[in-house]
Chains A and B, each alone.
Chain A
Amino acid sequence: MKVLVAVKRVIDYNVKVRVKPDNTGVDLANVKMAMNPFCEIAVEEAVRLKEKGVASEIVVVSIGPKACQEQIRTALALGADRGIHIESDEEVQSLEAAKLLKAVVEKEEPKLVILGKQSIDSDNNQTGQMLAALTGMAQGTFASEVVVDGEKVNVTREVDGGLMTVSLNLPAVVTTDLRLNEPRYASLPNIMKAKKKPLDVMSAADLGVEIKPRLTTLKVEAPAARQAGVKVADVAELVDKLKNEAKVI
């Protein structure tokens, strides 16, 4: 079966985020960018399904400026077979991203679509669920285990009270949580091979989707900094402070 994986180019998770002085956004100039960590887990899961003989082909798709071809190449080096880049220099919000992915799903007809549960920049946690709704597919969000069984897939989900397992009809959308797998690193020979793998570039217009943001960011500010606290000498002093100064116990 064919598996479609969506990946997003975001600020590297180790980078210290700085808000621009004019409060229009976060400073991304000369900042290290990388594949969103949850998307790496999505790629890894697809590759493992292929290694098990469950997946026959892995198509990786990314939406964004030309630079996000780097992240598509990374996914190809990790084991995806071919890439689709939907080029857009404008900000693409979750609903538009879901509409673009829906157009790709209609063209490619994958049995399984795997996405990260959220990107670590906008922290929205929306696109996978929106794609599932628009395409009429079932969804297994926040997955920690994915088992394909014939025309169904069993997904174990990380939920507030613990774990919940659902059975979904295929085709289905799965969004990844942290414990689904531990992504591998690309080997140098595979990075070289990835350069020769096919990568189609298209625009939103090619897919018949109008990019029309519904949300406007009015300002972006740094969070209020916490006051630096004090060091206590020992446990007795700590308990004393909590009881008599902070009055929280």
Chain B
Amino acid sequence: MSILVIAEHDNSSLKQATLSVVAAAKAIGGDIDVLVAGENCGAVAEAAAKADGVAKVLVADNAVYGHFLGENLGELVAEVGKGYSHILAAAGTTGKDFMPRVAALLDVAQVSDIIRVESEDTFVRPIYAGNAIATVKASDSIKVITVRPTGFDPVAAEGGSASVEQVDVVKDAGLSSFVGEEKAKSDRPDLASAGIVISGGRGMQNGENFKMLEQVADLLGAGMGASRAAVDAGFVPNDMQVGQTGKIVAPQLYVAVGISGAIQHLAGMSDSKVIVAINKDEEAPIFQVADYGLVADLFEAVPQLEEELKKVL
């Protein structure tokens, strides 16, 4: 078997999610190649070549891939990937965008968001917002798969020495173009890969109050998240949403502040190792999944938490 992993990156650095996808590829077994498609993405290719278990890195470096447009990536990956038995990408917004296009162009099904590999053709994935776990067998000759990074421990980022080859395939579908972006700039760890995540919900009451959480997050070196309610209310931007349709996180510690715990939110964080809930409503469903629950007014508890953490950290 031969597996093609599509790297997730921002043209300058390789996202950790890619290392989890390589881990999923190792669980399938076979030769693992990584495709880095982007623009001026040489540093990413070098990083991918060092990842444990990678045999070869293919680099498609061209302006048409610079913004990861699904139309162009779809054609490229279908072309490069057609000789492989499996094509894998992280189930982030980029992978979710272009991978179904790849599957359709190859006339094969896609298996989305796998959390476990049972065998070369059988995979485990959550359905119904994680309220059910399905084991699915794929019959197509090429398996197109998106991988939920939290389901697989990342392979080591160093130690490998894969060869790097340029791929001279330029696919410009000519259907779409990049206009602009608003990227949240933050010095905090990326939500999806942070070891600790602190999230606020509707109980925060407004965006200004998230500053309280930011101070705690900075003490802990934590990533910042939010419930859908907090995003819908405009307290914080959409990229902070944790849940069924937002980001899926599984940190060592997840602190939910003023979040009631709708199933759609639980779907995004219930695999966290330790969950803390701070909520004034003791009936809130979040307490059913929390390892440590504190029934308290968050406006008193969060400043206290900051003080107590300062004592012990």
Q: List chain A positions with a Cβ less than 8 A from chain B.
A: 11, 13, 16-17, 19, 26, 38, 93-95, 98, 117-118, 120-134, 136-142, 144, 154, 157-169, 172, 177-179, 214-223, 226-232, 234-236, 238-239, 241-243, 246, 248-249
Asked if B100 and A17 make an inter-chain contact with CB atoms under 8 angstroms apart, the answer reads no
Asked if B178 and A162 make an inter-chain contact with CB atoms under 8 angstroms apart, the answer reads no
Question: In the complex, what distance in Å separates the CA atom of A126 from the CA atom of B273?
Answer: 30
Say if the beta carbon of B212 comes within 8 Å of chain A.
Answer: no
Say if the beta carbon of B308 comes within 8 Å of chain A.
Answer: yes
Partner of A129, one of B100, B174, B301: B100
Given A165-B180, A223-B130, A238-B292, is A243 in contact with B139 using a C-beta cutoff of 8 Å? no
Asked if B108 and A214 make an inter-chain contact with CB atoms under 8 angstroms apart, the answer reads yes
Q: Can you show 17 pairs from A to B with CB atoms below 8 A apart?
A: A121-B127, A121-B128, A123-B113, A123-B126, A130-B100, A138-B173, A159-B239, A165-B178, A165-B181, A167-B178, A214-B108, A220-B135, A222-B132, A222-B133, A229-B293, A238-B294, A241-B292
| Neighbouring B residues of A177 by C-beta, 8 Å | 238, 245
| Neighbouring A residues of B182 by C-beta, 8 Å | 162-164
A154 nearest CB neighbor, chain B only: B179
Given A26-B132, A238-B292, is A166 in contact with B176 using a C-beta cutoff of 8 Å? yes
Asked if A124 and B104 make an inter-chain contact with CB atoms under 8 angstroms apart, the answer reads no
Given A118-B245, A215-B137, is A229 in contact with B275 using a C-beta cutoff of 8 Å? yes
Question: In the complex, what distance in Å separates the CA atom of A56 from the CA atom of B57?
Answer: 49
Total cross-chain contacts (CB, 8 A): 272
How far is the CB of B291 from the nearest CB of chain A, in Å?
4
B70 nearest CB neighbor, chain A only: A139
Question: In the complex, what distance in Å separates the CA atom of A120 from the CA atom of B263?
Answer: 12
How far is the CB of B194 from the nearest CB of chain A, in Å?
12
Partner of B139, one of A26, A216, A234: A216
| Neighbouring A residues of B202 by C-beta, 8 Å | none
| Neighbouring A residues of B237 by C-beta, 8 Å | 162-163
Question: In the complex, what distance in Å separates the CA atom of A235 from the CA atom of B297?
Answer: 11
Given A123-B113, A126-B103, A238-B276, is A223 in contact with B295 using a C-beta cutoff of 8 Å? no
Say if the beta carbon of B24 comes within 8 Å of chain A.
Answer: no
How far is the CB of A236 from the nearest CB of chain B, in Å?
6
Question: In the complex, what distance in Å separates the CA atom of A127 from the CA atom of B69?
Answer: 17
Given A121-B127, A162-B239, A214-B108, is A129 in contact with B70 using a C-beta cutoff of 8 Å? yes
Question: In the complex, what distance in Å separates the CA atom of A143 from the CA atom of B130?
Answer: 23
Partner of B238, one of A130, A134, A163, A215: A163
Partner of B294, one of A217, A220, A231, A249: A231
| Neighbouring B residues of A232 by C-beta, 8 Å | 292-294
Question: In the complex, what distance in Å separates the CA atom of A246 from the CA atom of B253?
Answer: 9
| Neighbouring B residues of A161 by C-beta, 8 Å | 10, 181, 183-184, 239
Inter-chain pairs besides A38-B245, A214-B140, A221-B133, 18 sampled, C-beta below 8 Å: A19-B132, A95-B104, A123-B244, A124-B112, A129-B74, A162-B238, A165-B181, A169-B176, A218-B136, A220-B132, A223-B270, A226-B275, A229-B289, A235-B294, A236-B304, A246-B292, A248-B274, A249-B312
Interface-facing stretch out of B43-51, B88-96, B154-162 = B88-96
Question: In the complex, what distance in Å separates the CA atom of A241 from the CA atom of B291?
Answer: 10
Interface residues of B in 165-212 (CB under 8 A from A): 173-184, 192, 196
Question: In the complex, what distance in Å separates the CA atom of A230 from the CA atom of B312?
Answer: 22
Given A221-B133, A239-B309, is A158 in contact with B93 using a C-beta cutoff of 8 Å? yes
| Neighbouring A residues of B122 by C-beta, 8 Å | 218
Asked if A179 and B105 make an inter-chain contact with CB atoms under 8 angstroms apart, the answer reads no
Asked if A215 and B139 make an inter-chain contact with CB atoms under 8 angstroms apart, the answer reads yes
Asked if A220 and B134 make an inter-chain contact with CB atoms under 8 angstroms apart, the answer reads yes
Partner of B291, one of A38, A128, A229: A229
Question: In the complex, what distance in Å separates the CA atom of A226 from the CA atom of B272?
Answer: 10
B282 nearest CB neighbor, chain A only: A231
Say if the beta carbon of B63 comes within 8 Å of chain A.
Answer: no
